[in-house]
Amino acid sequence: MIQPLRQQFNESWSERRYRDLIARLETRTGATLGFPISETPCFFPRSLMDELSATGLELVSQILDHPAARAAALAAVPARFHGPNAEALPTFLQVDFGLVRGSSGAIEPKLVELQAFASLYGFQLAVAEGYRDAFSLGPSLGLFLGGLQPGEYHDIVGQALLNGHDPKHVVLMEIEPRRQKTWPDFVVTEQMWGVRAVDTSEIERDGRRLFYQRDGRRTPIARIYNRVIPDELERKNVPLPFDYRDDLEVEWAGHPSWYFQISKFSIPWLKHRSVPETTFLHQLDQLPADRERYLLKPLFSFAGGGIIFAPTDAQIAEIPADQRSNYILQERIQFEPVIETPEGPTQAEIRIMYVRSRDRFQPVLPLIRMGRGKMMGVDHNKGLRWVGASAGLIATD
């Protein structure tokens, strides 16, 4: 979006430098990346990043400070995902925005989604650093939000993960972590903070305590950095060695109940110029005629699963009446392709990543997904270049 930087980058780009970027990331993580990395970072003015960071906080506060919204969100949590040791406030927040062209012709942000679930706090920093180093980008381009310095970022995320515990007593819990596309993030997380990824099947219960094997020794778990997506847990019917409702001697960094409480379920409660028209399906008296303007979304799917573009009467009729409260009908966001690339203008979705620090939510990093398809996911951008995961490098206005 910053024309001089964009033009200079495009003119100096080379396949060799891009391959150097991929090599750096694969060397850092010791793995072949299971998803595309865009050929370019995105250059954004700090004023835009500050605006998005502030807007995300305003939206989240509308839920957390609204008793009726909080009560409704808590009631939406399935019984098995309640727990006595859940955090009073979420540890992690993600708020995703698309950039659209408003009625005045100016570029404006629109909310795509928000989620109280962890994101790529390790790997995303590695991606941003990789772009900067592989393409010899200047130190004047910032990586962090909220004026953070590298040491402050490391400390804030580390405090959220560890809460003062020895890293060997904190585990990153996931279903078959080595098979997840997010494995590179798990590797960097252990490199930066010492928190090791552990399969759910490797956790043992003994009374109220949990244990795992670390370097051949039975090691007690004091805190769980939760990366298990409830949708995957349910879909695969994965057994756990404990019940989330049990009163265990363990702390949570990202209890699964927050996955439901701040989610697509929250969007119909929000009132803000950046929020697209959104209604619970069961609350619609009459379906709109111009379906091309709408998406039908299941509330608790992950990574865009189950979304239907321009839903038909037949598709809506297939949803049982008692399940319609689990869907929203949302105005479709028309992303503006604001990133000029050698293969044409490209859209960018901007995730603002937050971490709770001293009972306030600190914006820490932007995460970018680029695409030219209907959505930003890999399946909608197959065979395209200059799309995929990217980083937002921040320039002083």
In whole angstroms, what separates CA 167 from the centre of its chain? 24
Structural tokens at position 290: 């111009």
pLDDT at position 31, please? 84
Residue 323's SS3 state is helix
By DSSP bridging, strand 294-298 and strand 308-309 are: antiparallel
Q: How many residues does the chain have?
A: 397
Rg (CA), the chain: 21
Closest CA to 229 of 210, 254, 246, 251: 254
In degrees and rounded to multiples of 5, residue 49 shows phi and psi of -65, -40
d(CA 31, CA 110): 35
Closest CA to 264 of 221, 300, 294, 308: 300
Question: Which DSSP letter does residue 181 get?
Answer: T
Per-block mean pLDDT, blocks of 10 residues, the chain (397 long): 90 97 96 91 96 97 93 91 92 96 90 96 97 92 93 97 98 97 97 98 97 97 97 91 95 96 93 94 87 87 74 90 90 92 94 94 97 67 86 88
In whole angstroms, what separates CA 379 from the centre of its chain? 18
CB 336 within 8 A of CB 352: no
Give me the residues paired with residue 97 across strands: 111, 350
d(CA 48, CA 46): 5
pLDDT at position 335, please? 92
CB 45 within 8 A of CB 2: yes
* DSSP codes, 336-372: ---B--TT--BEEEEEEEEEEETTEEEEEEEEEEEES
